[in-house]
């Protein structure tokens, strides 16, 4: 199996952090409303782990697909998406049947919420514009983008 790319690991950690924070918020809401029971915690843990695993597997698929030809990449992503859907179906079904339904379903959307907050707390050192036209180092070793007087 290929080693996960640094970008994939970094983004997965970002998503996992947000999932953890949002899971804590979900548990707090259940505690405040007096609806908390162990089923809520276990359902939340199962579903949050599934959501992060889904994102990580998607990252691995994207990483593998980027090394392939366009057509193969497209097919690989479709296959990967179908398999991940089955995985999430199994996780969701387990959660709904054996744990709290709400606590098992809601964490599946936490990665989406994390992506929504990405522009606010995202990695600032990744340029969002034209990468090729970024500042280049000059021959004297000075960093680009600064005026040398």
Task: Say which residue the tokens 């054996």 belong to.
Answer: 98
131 forms part of the interface with another protein (CB under 8 A): yes
Examine residue 75 and tell whether it contacts another protein (CB under 8 A).
Answer: yes
- Answer yes or no whether residue 62 interacts with another protein by CB under 8 A: yes
If the CB atoms of residues 5 and 39 are measured against another protein, the closer one turns out to be 5
Among 1, 120, 132, 140, binds another protein (CB under 8 A): 132
Q: Smaller CB distance to another protein: residue 40 or 58? A: 58
The DSSP output letter for 116 is H
Per the structure block, which two tokens stand in for 132? 């090729």
70 forms part of the interface with another protein (CB under 8 A): yes
Return all residues near 43 (Cβ < 8 A) that are at least 6 apart.
95, 99, 100, 101, 103, 104
On whether the CB atoms of residues 15 and 8 are closer than 8 A, the answer is no
């Amino acid at each position: 199996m290929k080693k996960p790319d640094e970008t994939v690991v970094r983004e997965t950690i970002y998503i996992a952090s947000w999932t953890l924070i949002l899971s804590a918020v979900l548990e707090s809401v259940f505690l405040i409303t007096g609806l908390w029971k162990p089923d809520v915690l276990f359902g939340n843990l199962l579903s949050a782990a599934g959501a992060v695993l889904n994102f990580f597997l998607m990252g691995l698929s994207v990483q593998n697909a980027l090394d392939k030809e366009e057509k193969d990449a497209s097919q690989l992503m479709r296959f990967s998406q179908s398999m991940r859907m089955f995985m999430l179906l199994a996780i969701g079904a387990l959660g709904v049947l054996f744990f709290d339904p709400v606590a098992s379903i809601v964490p599946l959307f936490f990665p989406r919420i994390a992506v929504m907050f990405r522009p606010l707390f995202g990695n600032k050192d990744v340029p969002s514009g034209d990468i090729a036209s970024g500042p280049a180092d000059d021959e004297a070793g000075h960093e680009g983008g600064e005026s040398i007087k």
